[in-house]
Structures are given as C-alpha cells and as structure tokens.
C-alpha cells in the first residue's frame, strides 16, 4: 500500500516561517513514498483540534526522493528501499546553545527520518545556523536545517509529507483546520506543495497551532527544550516579514549524531 504522505492572527502570520523559501526546497511533482497507509484512502479522523493518532510500527517501506534544484551542500540522497518503519532513532544535536536530544519516530514518518539520518551522517547539518525563531502566541518554534541560513536552502531533492497529513483523505477540509502541534514536536518545513519536504525542520517549544500538513517525525527531550526556551527568552531580531526573525541568541548546529 502507498504511504504519501484560526487560531490567532500571530499564528497565521507566522505560518510562512514553516514554508521553505525558494526553488531549492520547493515542490515538483513526485511519486509518493510507499508504506502502510495512504493519503486519500480510508476515513479521515474526526476533528478534535488535536493531532490524530500516530501510526503503529510497520514493515519496511520504499520512499521516493525526487531531484529538486541545487543542494546547499554536496550530499547523496538516502537509500530509498527497505526503509525501517518501526522504532525510535536517538539523535543528539550539539549546538552553540547546548545539546538538544531528539527522538526520531520511524513509524510515523519513515521516509522523513530516513532522510534526516542520512543528512546527519553526511555532515549536512554541521556548522549551520538555526535561522529563524518565532515567539508569537500560538506559534513558538525554532527553525533549522538550511546550511545557507537564508530559509531558501535544501538538499537537492524533495519528498512527500507523511504523518499527520497522510491520515486524512486527499482534499479533506480538515487539512485547512488548525491542530495543536504539542510542545516538544519536531516537524518538517515545506512550501505547501506536494513533494516539497527537504532538509528544513522546526522544533516546537510551546504548543503551537498549525494545519496538519507538516510532517511530525519525532520529539525533543526535556533538556533540549530547556535549551530552546532559553534561546527563545532572548527573542528575535524581527527581520522576517511574516513574523519572527533570527534569534538574538545565535544557535549554530555543531553536529548531529545518531545512535547506531
């Protein structure tokens, strides 16, 4: 089977934060990753304002990573077959502000975790900034994953959104309704177009309201959240027209290591 995967005015204004900024991370049509469930199949969950139930562990899947512009750094796309769809991958993001522990959920987003782990192992994130912070009520996130630090960079390939979007039927009106992305969530940025996930991700340090169209692929540990909250307390420079800006306390990713 195939796996494809208002809240406040402040949250709406900050939404552009989560959209990558140019063709290097923008969408081109691509074949959906494959796995155990499909967007557009089955019955959409009842609207509750909360994220739907995450998928259970499943069998390995195949993914599609479609070439998409130039890469911000030279990397090789990840292996696309026999991708694990069960278990948790533990990672540590060492930053200039302190260590941030990540628990990557292979069952919820196998193709996303597969890509993130591949990029981490190739050193793609090393020496890169977390380029944007939003501290608005209803949207409180730190965004990272672009080596250019501009919000426009990507890995030279794109792939489809997974959980929670793939739980809903294609075109479901609920995909335009906000849900709570809980404190501690790790999710992917995208342009709003199919296949536009790349390398940029955001760390949610307080409950935030967004449409369920951003792939949730893990959680941040409490120690890491404390690091992000300290950065957030310093505010941002307000340089982003859609809301937020570069953190006043710079955050540089020194390395991302994944436990074997």
Paired tokens of 128: 């890169």
Burial of 46 (0-12, 13-18, 19+ CB in 10 A): exposed
DSSP 52: P
Task: HSE, CB side, 13 Å, CA atoms: give it for residue 42.
Answer: 14
Residue pLDDT tens, the chain, 260 long: 333 333 333 343 344 446 554 333 333 333 232 232 334 445 788 888 999 999 999 999 999 999 999 999 999 999 999 999 999 999 999 999 999 999 999 999 999 999 999 999 999 999 999 999 999 999 999 999 999 999 999 999 999 999 999 999 999 999 999 999 999 999 999 999 999 999 999 999 999 999 999 999 999 999 999 999 999 999 999 998 878 999 999 999 999 999 96
Contact in structure between 17 and 143 (CB atoms under 8 Å): yes
Architecture of domain 9-40+55-258: Beta Barrel (2.40)
Domain ranges (residues) in the chain: 9-40+55-258
């Amino acid at each position: 089977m195939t796996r494809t995967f208002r809240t406040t005015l402040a949250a709406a204004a900050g939404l552009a934060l989560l959209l990558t900024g140019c063709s290097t991370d923008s969408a081109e049509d691509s074949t959906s990753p494959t796995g155990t469930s499909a967007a557009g199949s089955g019955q959409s969950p009842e609207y509750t304002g909360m994220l739907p139930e995450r998928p259970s562990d499943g069998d390995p899947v195949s993914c599609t990573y479609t070439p998409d512009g130039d890469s911000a750094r030279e990397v090789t796309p990840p292996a696309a077959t026999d991708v694990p769809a069960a278990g948790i991958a533990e990672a540590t993001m060492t930053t200039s502000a302190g260590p941030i522990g990540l628990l990557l959920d292979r069952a919820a987003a196998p193709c996303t975790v597969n890509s993130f782990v591949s990029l981490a192992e190739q050193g793609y994130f090393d020496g890169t900034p977390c380029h944007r912070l939003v501290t608005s009520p209803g949207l409180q996130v730190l965004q990272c994953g672009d080596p250019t630090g501009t919000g426009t960079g990507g890995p030279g390939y794109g792939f489809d959104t997974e959980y929670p979007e793939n739980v809903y039927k294609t075109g479901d009106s609920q995909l335009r309704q906000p849900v709570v992305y809980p404190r501690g969530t790790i999710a992917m940025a995208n342009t709003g177009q199919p296949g536009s996930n790349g390398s940029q991700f955001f760390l949610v340090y307080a409950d935030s309201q967004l449409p369920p169209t951003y792939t949730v692929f893990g959680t941040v540990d409490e120690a890491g959240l404390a690091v992000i909250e300290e950065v957030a307390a310093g505010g941002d420079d307000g340089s982003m027209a859609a809301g937020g800006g570069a953190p006043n306390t710079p955050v540089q990713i020194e390395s991302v290591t994944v436990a074997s």
